[in-house]
Chain A
């Protein structure tokens, strides 16, 4: 396949970036999207030009580091996948493809397509954990019965890989799907319930502090989330916060 790429290039976090046009040839439909960029980069390196920077690690949809906004959609046109799981067969010969970094005021661009998502880490640090004060008499987790629906919902929420597609796709750059998933994952389990009230307040505080927007319930995040995290998690987070304030 022959493709025309329109890629966001930006030298560093302070410089002004712009869209730059590239042409690539000999792209196999079986390549992954990142492999297509590898092909482009090897040509750029050969020509003594600086390669396009983009985040990636596992390349199998589990680490959440790949983060491209492709043709106006987070992780590209396919559903329930990360950018590294997107294949070139989703495109046609001669297509023009826009490739931009995930955009949000709280996700500043570091270089080209790489953005700083450490705001997510700070939200996690604020409360996305369970303090286990075992002092030598740890209880076997399996000895605490948990009903199946709660266990399933908690597990579903826990599949969030923190990629940030929800923020990138939201017109308000809201992080509520991510935070909703992290809050839910613990709030549903007895081990997490102990600190639930405290956790939801701290995580939302940090989320607001980082400058993420409000949720308008457009539902775009849920559609673009590679892990299918449900909007129900945002509703649960809202309930958890109201509970923590009223009770």
Chain B
């Protein structure tokens, strides 16, 4: 087993596993955010449940944090190793002749997502942790009302933030346009190359980021 985690294939397989986990998480995150468009009340209730449920907070959240960190650290490791394997560059290389831009620039789309996540954490996650774990306030209330929806509206009323979010989701889309099917291939499956999965990949990689953009814009224009 020790050798397994040491081989190039193992690094790829673990990369794919963490990526698939992140894609499932993102779907769930999207579904919850989407409720904010229809009903502040439902959004508040789900947010409160997710924010205070011990299973979510103490089991799923640590797994998620591990998954995210694992994914981008492994991404950096792969990038570093791959650069070492191809030190001398061509004077003239026509990469577009045989592969997609997305597939050749996963590290750049990844870094864009990472910079978004830093902002996202500063915006939402750190204040949450502060309220719950430092101030020890698990009520979810502010001035007698659930605070989640108003906090969300407040964040998305600031134009530059909304623009930054939208750009970041474009990069997420580029990341997934290659990543979705690539993850299946890494897992040793060839279904990623079948039409059905390619269509599913387009559906996920375009609709989910676009949906997040829609939600951000919706709150920007409706507050």
Contact = CB atoms under 8 A, between A and B. Distances in A.
Given A103-B89, A218-B104, A223-B98, A204 B182 contact: no
Contact of B8 (A72, A98, A207): A207
B144 interface: no
Interface of B is mostly: helix
Contacts of A239: 188
Interface stretch (B64-72, B77-85, B119-127): B77-85
Interface string B62-102: 00000000000000001001101111111111110111100
A114 interface: no
B55 interface: no
A80 B160 CA distance: 50
A172 interface: yes
Nearest to B84: A105
Contacts of A65: none
A238 B85 contact: no
Given A218-B99, A245-B1, A245-B4, A234 B185 contact: yes
Contacts of A169: 98
A161 B209 CA distance: 43
A233 to B, nearest CB: 10
A196 interface: no
Interface size for chain A: under 10, 10 to 19, 20 to 34, or 35 or more residues?
A: 35 or more
Contacts of A173: 82, 85-86
A26 B82 CA distance: 42
A85 interface: no
Interface stretch (A50-58, A123-131, A143-151, A209-217): A209-217
Interface stretch (B9-17, B29-37, B39-47, B214-222): B9-17
Nearest to B183: A217
B24 interface: no
Contacts of A201: 3
Given A207-B8, A220-B95, 6 more contacts: A73-B97, A103-B86, A212-B8, A217-B181, A223-B99, A238-B9
Q: Which 4 A-B pairs have the closest CB atoms?
A: A72-B94, A213-B85, A172-B82, A239-B188
